[in-house]
Chains A and B, each alone.
Chain A
Amino acid sequence: MTEAAPPPVLEVEGLSKHFPVRKGLLRRTVGHVYAVDQVSFTIGAGETLGLVGESGCGKTTVGRTIMRLIEPTAGAIRLDGHDVTRLGKSEMRPFRRQIQIIFQDPFSSLNPRKRAGDIVGEPLKVHGVLAAKARRERVAELFERVGLRKAQMDNFPHQFSGGQRQRIGVARALALNPRLIIGDEPVSALDVSIQAQVINLLMDLQRELKLSYLFISHNLAVVEHIAHRVAVMYLGRIVEYTDKITLFTRPLHPYTEALLAAVPVPDPAIKRAKRVVQGDVPSPLKPPPGCHFHTRCPYAEARCRQEIPALREVEPGHHVACHLR
């Protein structure tokens, strides 16, 4: 990366998470799922990195590992240059305030028995930042900031629509003034007209508060809109990583090509040669040897079936893991 002097807000290096697969009476470990395998990227201040891929590619595990909701197997996570990978619970605390997460499902990520205001105020309470009264004021301010009314603070989650609930999730994430917000498919469960409202809100907040986002999504059109740089994952590995314009105009990895070709374009007047990539995503339990994509890749050669391609910088800022590019 070409970022200058200050360290990036988030730097992930060689991050891996292997889940053991246990079987039988003694729950013996019979193998590992390489959910995340040697993933590296950085996110600068005020920048959005889009992390895209299909189900089971490990994008959600990356997000949760950065939050330390899941302990990484290997690799380093640095926040503003501080290595937080091995910090204990109490040492981690001040850093936790810096990273917040917004979940996909606005129905299951809010406690139905709590009032909306208390949900948003919870992080402030947990971190002991503000006393009750000041907290309420801060929550009111957050409500207005995300486009909810102060009067709605005493309502319960079921009294809000899906889009409004996602706004509550955004307000909760903002409560502690974090530097980085991880959005795990934050708009995927919303109707399109509401999706636009939440995307616009996230982009406005980024501009105002200089927030950094790790935007995890399977929706390439949304990522094209919101991200500055994009990393494409396939079966636990990053296969392509570059700035948005390069990725969408000159993709190099055959998987990225296939993904882009598969997105239905909402305009019947567009002529498009559509190449449908065949086959299924292989099971992460038994990933194919060599390049994980070779089973579906139209260009695969003998080498692709044996050697794992390294993620190489083929031109400044454009990283691709493919033997043929």
Chain B
Amino acid sequence: MAAPQAILATGAERRPVAGAPAPEPVLEVENLQTVFYTRGGLVKAVDGVSFTLGRSETLAIVGESGCGKSVTALSLMRLVSDPGRVVGGSVKLDGRDLVGLDEAELRQIRGNDISMIFQEPMTSLNPVMTIGRQIGEALILHQHMSRKAAVARATEMLHLVGIPEPQQRVKEYPHQLSGGMRQRAMIAMALACNPKVLIADEPTSALDVTIQAQILELIAKLQRELGTAVILITHDLGVVAETAERVIVMYAGRKVEEATVGELFARPLHPYTRGLMNSIPRLALMRREAGPVVNRLAEIPGIVPALSNLPPGCTFAPRCTFADEACRAQYPAYAEKRERHWAACWHSDKLPGAAHD
């Protein structure tokens, strides 16, 4: 397999080549279980998810709505609200388990060691507080800075994230900024305390494509400079391919596949991953690819099952063209199919070599 390359980008130069040792983990998640107690019964939104995140690594978690990717992120910070609860597993930050901590101890971690940015910057910023005060809040709380020092540091952060006229902007309110600028301000806030881990939940999905490119470039640049590890949660395989080093694919609350980005795109070993890759239009014309333009997109038939009513056996079986009796009877083991490439599928060996050949 050729080492994946992209020119500017992003995590490219640090992307692991198959066989390279895994970087030292900063975050270790083991068998995470998050459930929601609903009127319709118990819903397992995150069902036994485990992964590690290396120092200054970018890990993408991909999947469609309801697959549990956002709940996984919220569970790491214990931000899942009622009726949801983390009921099992461990989340170790530099060896320290966060699951047993009380609220006060968690507050020391949130925004300081682990911080998060969300999809919609307008709803996650406080509309009646200036940008400077919002960024400064974490600094005053965690780093015991004076208000004045916090504002100075906030101005510096705004400059770092590429907001023009930071001295002016620091006094402004969120509605005075454009969408892209708000997302930059969110990033400034998240990185103010220099966290070890940044969780970005669909950070660019609400933005226009030219602004998305700017924000992704910014996250990659800051990550290089500050050495922050990033968990990138997204549904966009294009974003994954251009920014992540490793990828986890989730379906119906479980991890179904995991590999380095080059390996995953070259050789998806789960039919769901394969289906996702085949179902997106690929801008073949723009890339001047040889051959006729495909007239029909490959569909994944059916719909994502409701978590409250999962089929027995493999949850993807009803939509899978490879499914047989074994699949419908028992959920497949999550196994290492190739070096550092795991998948939960009975039939990985039957999938052809590449997804799009």
Footprint of B on A, CB under 8 Å?
Answer: 54-55, 161-164, 191-197, 199-200, 203, 218, 220-222, 224-225, 244-245, 248-249, 258-274, 276-278, 280-281, 296
Instruction: Give 14 pairs: A residue, B residue, CB < 8 Å, sorted on A.
Output: A55-B179, A192-B276, A203-B295, A249-B285, A259-B210, A266-B280, A267-B282, A268-B262, A268-B265, A269-B4, A269-B265, A274-B8, A280-B181, A280-B211
Which residues of B (299-327) have their CB < 8 Å from a CB of A? 299-301, 303-304
Residue of A nearest to B304 (CB): A191
Chain B facing A: main interface SS: loop
Footprint of A on B, CB under 8 Å?
Answer: 2, 4-9, 15, 64-65, 178-181, 208-214, 216-217, 235-243, 261-262, 265-266, 275-277, 279-288, 293-301, 303-304
What's the nearest-Cβ distance from chain A to residue B104, in Å? 39
Q: Is A220's CB under 8 angstroms from B5's CB?
A: no
Q: Is B209's CB under 8 angstroms from A265's CB?
A: no
Q: Is A196's CB under 8 angstroms from B279's CB?
A: yes
Beyond A193-B64, A249-B286, A276-B8, 10 extra complex contacts between A and B, CB < 8 Å: A164-B303, A191-B235, A249-B285, A260-B283, A262-B209, A264-B241, A265-B283, A270-B241, A273-B8, A274-B6
Given contacts A191-B304, A248-B285, A262-B210, contact A268 B6 (CB under 8 A): yes
CA distance A248 to B243 in the complex (A): 24
What's the nearest-Cβ distance from chain B to residue A41, in Å? 20
Across the A-B interface, the 8 shortest Cβ-Cβ residue pairs: A264-B238, A54-B208, A268-B4, A196-B279, A193-B300, A225-B281, A248-B285, A191-B64
Given contacts A263-B238, A268-B4, contact A54 B178 (CB under 8 A): no
Q: Is B212's CB under 8 angstroms from A262's CB?
A: yes
Q: Is B213's CB under 8 angstroms from A262's CB?
A: yes
Residue of B nearest to A275 (CB): B8
CA distance A262 to B7 in the complex (A): 13
Chain B CB count within 10 A is highest, among A55, A258, A267, A270, for A267
Residues of chain A within 8 A (CB-CB) of B179 are: 55
Residues of chain A within 8 A (CB-CB) of B277 are: 266
Q: Is A267's CB under 8 angstroms from B265's CB?
A: yes
Q: Is B209's CB under 8 angstroms from A259's CB?
A: yes
CA distance A194 to B8 in the complex (A): 32
Residues of chain A within 8 A (CB-CB) of B303 are: 161, 163-164, 194
Chain A CB count within 10 A is highest, among B7, B239, B277, for B7
Residues of chain B within 8 A (CB-CB) of A194 are: 64, 303
Q: Is B283's CB under 8 angstroms from A221's CB?
A: yes
Q: Is B178's CB under 8 angstroms from A280's CB?
A: yes
Q: Of A55, A196, A222, A267, which contacts B241 at CB under 8 A?
A: A267
Residues of chain B within 8 A (CB-CB) of A274 are: 6-9, 213
Residues of chain A within 8 A (CB-CB) of B300 are: 193, 196
CA distance A249 to B293 in the complex (A): 13
Residue of A nearest to B260 (CB): A268
Residues of chain B within 8 A (CB-CB) of A220 are: 209, 283, 286
Residues of chain A within 8 A (CB-CB) of B209 are: 54, 218, 220, 259, 262-263
What's the nearest-Cβ distance from chain B to residue A61, in Å? 17
Residue of A nearest to B237 (CB): A266
CA distance A272 to B8 in the complex (A): 8
Residues of chain A within 8 A (CB-CB) of B6 are: 268, 270-272, 274
What's the nearest-Cβ distance from chain B to residue A219, in Å? 8
Q: Of B180, B266, B279, which contacts A195 at CB under 8 A?
A: B279
Q: Is B261's CB under 8 angstroms from A268's CB?
A: yes
What's the nearest-Cβ distance from chain B to residue A263, in Å? 6
Q: Is B7's CB under 8 angstroms from A268's CB?
A: no
Q: Is A222's CB under 8 angstroms from B286's CB?
A: no
Residues of chain B within 8 A (CB-CB) of A203 are: 295-296
Residue of B nearest to A269 (CB): B4
Q: Is B65's CB under 8 angstroms from A191's CB?
A: yes
Residue of B nearest to A163 (CB): B303
Residues of chain B within 8 A (CB-CB) of A273 are: 7-8
Q: Is A278's CB under 8 angstroms from B241's CB?
A: no
CA distance A193 to B301 in the complex (A): 8
What's the nearest-Cβ distance from chain B to residue A164, in Å? 7
Residue of B nearest to A245 (CB): B285
Residue of A nearest to B277 (CB): A266
CA distance A263 to B294 in the complex (A): 19
What's the nearest-Cβ distance from chain A to residue B144, in Å? 35
Chain A CB count within 10 A is highest, among B64, B65, B283, B287, for B283
Residues of chain B within 8 A (CB-CB) of A271 are: 5-7
Q: Of A54, A222, A265, which contacts B238 at CB under 8 A?
A: A265
Q: Is A265's CB under 8 angstroms from B285's CB?
A: no
CA distance A103 to B1 in the complex (A): 43
Residues of chain B within 8 A (CB-CB) of A278 are: 214
Given contacts A196-B297, A220-B283, A273-B7, contact A266 B240 (CB under 8 A): yes
Chain B CB count within 10 A is highest, among A203, A225, A245, for A225
Q: Is B276's CB under 8 angstroms from A260's CB?
A: no
CA distance A272 to B295 in the complex (A): 25
